[in-house]
Chains A and B, each alone.
Chain A
Amino acid sequence: MHDPAVRSLLDMFARIAATMEAERDHLSDLDGAIGDADHGMTMALGFRAVVVALGRLDAASAKPADVFRTAAGAFLDAVGASTGPLYANGFLRAAQRLDGCDGLDCASAATLLDAMAAGIAQRGKGSRGEKTMLDVWLPAAEAAQHALADRPDRFWTIVLDAAERGAAATRSMVAVRGRAARVGERSIGHIDPGAVSALMIIRAMAESFKP
């Protein structure tokens, strides 16, 4: 008997992997402007490994926490780099927070977004305004809390809107973390590839979670 939440999560990771594969060159091009041009490859590789590992999971008995724990390990081992520990920590945090939940409603989506943002921020010791993926994850997580309280009917519209604005805002920021920080002022005017891929992940989440 499949846990419906597990089914949604497997669907979500499959969507993310497909998106990263499709956007691989685009993300790498964005990265080439301010980094080492491998972000698309890293993300595609990482989520491909996640999907492979999840395929080996016994979906019949798995819980949402198992899905995230498996994803964390597979992503980290495939990727390394800075993206690996950051997302792995996000997934691990999600595993802790979603332990025991069944079915994915807006409340668990808000919890998931919050766990991801917190896990990434903790591992990278980052905050918003630094031209990173956190400029998408943090506003999206906050918007999710507000939407949950005020407009649950428009939950994903509000979350996606915040995530999109967060990604766009990185264009005017100066990178202070990671490799892009080395080009300093020359990072201005370029959107952050990590923020763009974070937006893609949240979009895939929305697709999988929408009833």
Chain B
Amino acid sequence: MTDGSISANRRRPLRTPAAEGGAGIIPLRFGDDPQVWACWLYYEDRLTQGEVADAMGISRATVNAYLADARERGIVNITLDPHRLASLTIAQELKRHFGLHDCLVVPSQEPGDSLIDSLGSAGSLVLRRLLRSGDTLAVTWGRTVLAVASATSITGLQDVRVVQATGGMTASIVGSPEACAARLAAGLGAACVPITAPGIVSSAEMRDMLMAEPLLRSQFAALGDASRALFGVASLRPNSTIHSSGFFDAVPLQDYLALNAVGVVAGRFIDVQGQPVRGPLDERLVGLSLDSLRQIERRIAVAGGIDKVPAILGALRGGYADVLVTDAATGKALLDADGASALPRPAPRSTAESTEGAGQAEVQRRHVKKFLNDPDDIVDEMLDGALRAHSDYLVPVQGARRAFMARTAPRPGRVGLVVGGGSGHEPCFLGYVGTGMADAVAVGNIFSSPPPDPIARAARAVSGGQGVLFVYGNYAGDTMNFEMASELVQADGIPVRSVVTTDDVASSRAEDRDGRRGVAGNVLVFKVAGAACDRGWPLDACERVARRANARTFTMGVALEPCSMPQTRRYSFSIGPGDMEVGVGIHGEPGVAREPMQSADAIVDMAMNRIFAEMQTAPGDRVAVLVNSFGSTPLMELYVLYRRVEQRLRTKNLTIAANWVGHYCTSLDMAGASITIMHLDDELADLLGHPCDTPFFKVGP
């Protein structure tokens, strides 16, 4: 009963009324507030209103009035499970915004099979609600439709027919039109009307001939009687299942993409406004037309997944669906995309989204204080200062803007290691140039890759006759510029290999390891690669071990406050007072998810659980640990994090062969930290322990 409110989940009775004082005397702990007492007895002790009346020595009507007043006064708050609540709110908003007959939204989950399964169950629930005896149901194809069919088992309906909405396709496909219709008919105890022709035929003439066949005519007559339709919505995104569905094999989807098609409904292409996109297939498709689909009384679309948002938007705007079954994340995205989101958000993004009139409303205009001269000069002034501070280690690369090399480079007979990236990450990347680590660095604008020219000049300058290895983080800009530089340098006859770091586990799923970005784990990969180069390994071997170092390195970051750019001195986005940004990178960009703030140990546990899920270790294995500040998080807090990291590793019987705690790869003044674990093997452990001497990374001999 803290805060004067009690939760309203009525539990089982804990004690009898007699246990509590005598009738009519308020027990001391309720003060003199009979309403609180009444609420306690009713909600916590689960008495009936009559029992409460007896216990309190008042009438039932008074109890009833007390309970009602308590709601109004806020003594009692009734809460729904937030996930359920969000689903309900989103469903209501979708129904209103798109003028739907009905809408069902399932709570969000990871994309993949579980999403399709829960859409399937929800779809079958909708069928149970909307199907009546005597209905004819037109059914398309696809994995989602098959999931609905598989989840459906409805008895008691009479004279229901299930009709294929299109012709068929090869049986090897999961969710073929035939399978969907047959399965659904079985689940409904309905008659099944197939379309006994291929879904796509070779020519318009062939289609016309087939359509003249009496059998097909009768099947299409049944389709014309449809009073209900059930269909999925396919996306045309590159990774969509449409490309592997088999239905559109041999169709140039690019032609449709060029005409702005975003999705497919019942085998027909539509754009984001729902307009049909005409193409070569129209005359060759044996199936329901979009116009006929729109004539059907109830049209149930079952579709979820963020990649389908433009396609579903088209299906809704075009009026092809009047009942939508989707998941909460997709539903919310649909509303956002249509500019309709009136939903409460955990923390509104602090940006003006409209093209007209920048910087309204919530953009934070308070300037962050910084040590600055002209903000446009900050990168050059920083580099000038660093060069002076570390003149024992660094010299400029001749003729290059913003490229620096070790005083010891080039070293004949050894592979040269060139690293680089945007500025704003100091001491990354120039702090790791010296002996035994990077030989040269190219530095870009804040959070921006350097252009090809300084990279190429650095590479030529440190080439010792054995080739050059590039190691850099996986970002679109860095990849383009380093690739261009690599072409320039190789044209001069210097062999170049590139290893792109991808240690950020939050940035995409494990199967998409190559698509992940490189973050603080960079530093450990530089160390391993630099040691290999220093030992005089050939280019092949240096590249190979750098790749393995990257593959065995896992980083997870959490931001507490965003960073501010020197030019604007404003935060680039906002993180609510009670929130943290999980899975954040090193560029002050929003992370993967916004979550409520937790204790340091809970945050470490979340990060470590994520890392352990991917890092296959055995007891006794060795690891290296890097606990890194994003800029403004002090060492004090980093040690608190390290403490828990160490506990978690110890309980798994892992040996920490080396650790680093501090500022290694920052994001300007961002508050937050990342945890990096490198899973060592003998070779990696050996190379990590190899001596190196750079301004910010030293390993003694």
Contacts of A157 in B (CB 8 A): none
Bound state CA distance, A82 and B587, in angstroms?
A: 14
A188 with B507: in contact, given A42-B448, A182-B592 (CB under 8 Å)?
A: no
Distance in Å: Cβ of B361 to nearest Cβ of chain A = 11
8 Å CB contacts to A: which residues of B305-326?
306-307, 309-310, 313
- Mostly helix, strand, loop or mixed at chain A's interface? helix
A81 with B573: in contact, given A25-B359, A191-B355 (CB under 8 Å)?
A: no
Per-residue 0/1 for B341-383: is the Cβ within 8 Å of any A Cβ (1 yes, 0 no)?
Answer: 1000000011111110011000100000000000010000000
8 Å CB contacts to A: which residues of B288-315?
306-307, 309-310, 313
* Cβ B355 vs Cβ A33 within 8 A: no
Q: Find A171's partner among B260, B262, B339 (CB 8 Å cutoff).
A: B339
Contacts of B307 in A (CB 8 A): 174
Contacts of A30 in B (CB 8 A): 351-353, 358
Binds B, one of A50-58, A104-112, A120-128, A146-154: A120-128
A185 at the interface (CB under 8 A from B): yes
Q: Find B567's partner among A41, A124, A190, A191 (CB 8 Å cutoff).
A: A41
8 Å CB contacts to B: which residues of A131-145?
none
* Cβ B565 vs Cβ A41 within 8 A: yes
A35 at the interface (CB under 8 A from B): yes
Q: Find A79's partner among B272, B451, B475 (CB 8 Å cutoff).
A: B451
A85 at the interface (CB under 8 A from B): yes
* Cβ A179 vs Cβ B565 within 8 A: no
A103 at the interface (CB under 8 A from B): no
A84 at the interface (CB under 8 A from B): yes
* Cβ B589 vs Cβ A183 within 8 A: yes
8 Å CB contacts to B: which residues of A163-179?
167-169, 171-174, 176-179
8 Å CB contacts to B: which residues of A159-207?
167-169, 171-174, 176-179, 182-186, 188-191, 196
Contacts of A45 in B (CB 8 A): 376, 445
Q: How many A-B residue pairs have CB under 8 A?
A: 180
A67 at the interface (CB under 8 A from B): no
* Cβ A32 vs Cβ B359 within 8 A: no
Interface residues on A, range: 35 or more
* Cβ A36 vs Cβ B447 within 8 A: yes
Bound state CA distance, A25 and B449, in angstroms?
A: 21
Binds A, one of B151-159, B214-222, B477-485: B477-485
Per-residue 0/1 for A72-107: is the Cβ within 8 Å of any B Cβ (1 yes, 0 no)?
Answer: 000011111111111000000000000000000000
Q: Find A33's partner among B339, B341, B353, B568 (CB 8 Å cutoff).
A: B353
* Cβ B568 vs Cβ A80 within 8 A: no
B453 at the interface (CB under 8 A from A): yes
Bound state CA distance, A196 and B279, in angstroms?
A: 30
* Cβ B339 vs Cβ A189 within 8 A: yes
Q: Find A29's partner among B262, B313, B352 (CB 8 Å cutoff).
A: B352
Contacts of B236 in A (CB 8 A): 129
* Cβ A28 vs Cβ B568 within 8 A: yes
* Cβ B589 vs Cβ A189 within 8 A: no
Bound state CA distance, A168 and B363, in angstroms?
A: 21
A-B contact pairs, 14 of them (CB 8 A): A25-B359, A32-B572, A35-B589, A36-B447, A37-B565, A38-B445, A84-B481, A129-B310, A172-B338, A174-B310, A184-B306, A188-B306, A188-B337, A190-B353
> Given A33-B351, A191-B354, 14 more contacts at CB 8 Å?
A26-B358, A29-B363, A33-B349, A37-B573, A41-B446, A77-B453, A84-B451, A85-B452, A124-B480, A172-B313, A176-B237, A176-B238, A182-B592, A183-B589
**A residues apposed to B, CB below 8 Å:** 23, 25-26, 28-38, 41-42, 45, 76-86, 123-124, 127-129, 167-169, 171-174, 176-179, 182-186, 188-191, 196
What 3 pairs between A and B have smallest CB-CB spacing? A189-B336, A26-B358, A37-B572
